[in-house]
Amino acid sequence: MVSQVKLYDTTLRDGTQGEGISLSVDDKLKIAQKLDHLGVKYIEGGWPGSNPKDMNFFEEAKNLSFHSAVITAFGSTRKPGVEAENDPNLQRILESGVEAAAIFGKAWDFHVEKALQTSLDENISMIYDSIRFLKEKGMEVIFDAEHFFDGYKHNQDYALKALTAAEEAGADCLVLCDTNGGSLPSEIADILKVVHARTTISTGIHCHNDGELAVANTLEAVKAGADHVQGTINGYGERCGNANLISIIPNLQMKMGIPCLKEEKLPQLTETAVYVHELANQTPPDSQPFTGKSAFAHKGGMHVSAVLKHPETYEHIEPEKIGNERRVLVSELSGQSNLMFKAEELGIPLDKTDPAVKEIMEKMKQMEHQGYQYEAAEASFELLIRNGLGENHDYFYLDHFKIIAEKENEGAISTEALVKMDIQGEKVMTAAEGNGPVNALDYALRKTIGEYYPLVHEMYLSDYKVRVLDEAEATASTVRVLIESSDGKETWSTIGVSGNIVEASWQALVDSIRFYFMKHADRLQKLESQPVHPGPGLQNH
Q: Which of residues 298-317 bind a copy of itself (CB under 8 A)?
A: 298-300, 302-303, 305-306, 309-310, 313-317
Min CB(421)–a copy of itself separation in Å: 11
Amino acid at 107: A
Which residue's CB is nearer to a copy of itself, number 289 or number 450?
Answer: 289
- If one asks whether residue 470 binds a copy of itself (CB under 8 A), the answer comes out as yes
Q: Out of 295, 328, 340, 367, which residue is the one contacting a copy of itself (CB under 8 A)?
A: 295
216 touches a copy of itself (CB under 8 A): yes
180 binds a copy of itself (CB under 8 A): yes
Q: Does 452 contact a copy of itself by CB under 8 A? A: no
Contact range with a copy of itself by CB under 8 A, out of 33-41, 61-69, 83-91, 470-478: 470-478
Measured CA distances, 240 to 19, 181, 210, 276 (Å): 10, 9, 5, 18
71 contacts: CB under 8 Å, gap ≥ 6: 32, 43, 45, 58, 61, 98, 99, 100
User: Is 219 one of the binding residues for a copy of itself (CB under 8 A)?
Assistant: yes
Work out how close the CB of 404 gets to a copy of itself at its nearest, in angstroms, rounded to a whole number: 5
Member of 4, 86, 294, 370 binding a copy of itself (CB under 8 A): 294
Q: Residues near 121 by Cβ (< 8 Å), separated by ≥ 6?
A: none
Interface residue with a copy of itself among 48, 75, 434, 496 (CB under 8 A) is 434
Task: Using CB under 8 A, pick the residue from 259, 284, 436, 454 that binds a copy of itself.
Answer: 436
Task: Tell me the C-alpha distance between 426 and 440, whole Å.
Answer: 23
Q: Which of 97, 22, 110 is nearest to 66 (CA)?
A: 97
The 3-state DSSP class for residue 138 equals coil
Amino acid identity, position 183 = S
With contacts defined by CB under 8 A, name the span among 4-12, 33-41, 167-175, 176-184 that binds a copy of itself: 176-184
Burial (CB count <10 Å: 0-12, 13-18, 19+), residue 37? middle
Query: Segment near a copy of itself (CB under 8 A), from 2-10, 159-167, 284-292, 354-362?
Result: 284-292
DSSP 308-366: HH-GGGT-SS-GGGGT---EE---TT--HHHHHHHHHHTT----TT-HHHHHHHHHHHH
Report the alpha-carbon angle 232-263-6, nearest 5.
Answer: 40
Judged on CB neighbours under 10 Å (0-12, 13-18, 19+), 233 is buried
Site for a copy of itself in 485-504 (CB under 8 A): 498-503
The whole-angstrom separation of Cα 311 and Cα 475 is 45
Q: Which is nearer to a copy of itself, 209 or 270 (CB)?
A: 209
Size of interface with a copy of itself, in residues (CB under 8 A): 131
- Residue 184 φ/ψ, nearest 5 degrees: -95, 155
Applying CB under 8 A, the span of 82-90, 130-138, 340-348, 436-444 interacting with a copy of itself comes to 436-444
Give 346-351's long-range contacts (Cβ < 8 A, gap of 24+): 346/378, 346/382, 346/385, 348/382, 348/385, 348/386, 348/389, 350/385
Residue 416 Cβ vs a copy of itself, minimum distance, rounded to whole Å: 11
Using CB under 8 A as the binding rule, whether residue 439 contacts a copy of itself is answered as yes
Give me Rg for the CA atoms of the chain. 30
11-30 binders of a copy of itself (CB under 8 A):
17-20, 22, 24, 26
Binding residues among 505-524 for a copy of itself as defined by CB under 8 A: 505-506
How many residues make up the chain in this entry? Answer: 541
Q: Which residues of 414-429 are buried (b: 16+ CB within 10 A; e: fewer)?
A: ebbbbbbbebeeeebe
**Residues between 96 and 125 with contacts to a copy of itself, criterion CB under 8 A:** 108, 110-111, 114-115
**Contact residue for a copy of itself among 79, 462, 519, 524 (CB under 8 A):** 462
SS3 at position 196: helix
Task: Give min distance, CB of 479 to a copy of itself, in A.
Answer: 7
Q: Segment 230-259, which members bind a copy of itself (CB under 8 A)?
A: 235, 238-241, 244, 247, 250-251, 255-256
For a copy of itself, the binding residue among 33, 50, 164, 336 (CB under 8 A) is: 50
Q: Which of 472, 522, 530, 540 binds a copy of itself (CB under 8 A)?
A: 472
9: contact with a copy of itself by CB under 8 A:
no
Q: For the segment 344-383, give every residue that binds a copy of itself (CB under 8 A).
A: 369, 373, 375-376
In the complex, least distance from residue 490 CB atom to a copy of itself, rounded to whole angstroms: 16
